[in-house]
Amino acid sequence: MSGNNGLDKETQIAIGKTTKQKGDWAELIAAAYFRKLGYFVFPKMSGPIDTIFVHEKTGETRYVDVKTLNDRKNTKTGGNRINRTVTHPLKKILKIEIVYVDEHGNITFPYAKGREAWRKEYEVDRNEKGQYNGKIVKRKEVV
């Protein structure tokens, strides 16, 4: 019997295990990155926050949700980056940051000023259907 995604139960379980392993690996990479920047690392116990980082000298506290950076495959928009957001109600109380870790262990941060500000600041490439294809043409001069 297959689920909504067309995969049988065994395949879904196998993919889930590898996804969990990728997520755990990404959290370790992010923890190492922030540790090098002088943060204490407090892993999560539960909830939408993967790790809490507290800077050793300044006391700055950062609540981070670590995501593995993925591209869409086998879809109409194949190759485009999958962007994720924090959907938990806690995001209204705490500033929960998203940190992306790619397959090579590189750390990237999403644009924090909001979607409208990003659109004003960057010019993007689009495919023949007018869809954003994940490539930035140039950064605009912001006045």
Q: Is residue 19 part of a domain?
A: no
Q: With 0-12 CB in 10 A as exposed, 13-18 as middle and 19+ as buried, what is 134?
A: middle
Domain annotation covers residue 15: no
Backbone angles phi, psi at 31, to 5 degrees: -60, -45
Q: How many residues does the chain have?
A: 143
Q: Can you give the pLDDT at residue 39?
A: 96
Same structural domain for residues 82 and 119? no
Whether 13 is covered by a domain: the verdict is no
Instruction: Please give the pLDDT value at position 75.
Output: 52
User: How high is the pLDDT of residue 14?
Assistant: 66
Domain membership flag for residue 41: yes
Residue 81's SS3 state is strand
Q: Which residues contact 103 (CB under 8 A, 6 or more apart)?
A: 68, 69
Number of domains in the chain: 2
As a whole number of angstroms, the distance between CA 37 and CA 62 comes to 12
Q: Do residues 105 and 126 both lie within one domain?
A: no
Q: Convert the pLDDT of each residue in 20-39 to its tens digit.
A: 788 888 999 999 999 999 99
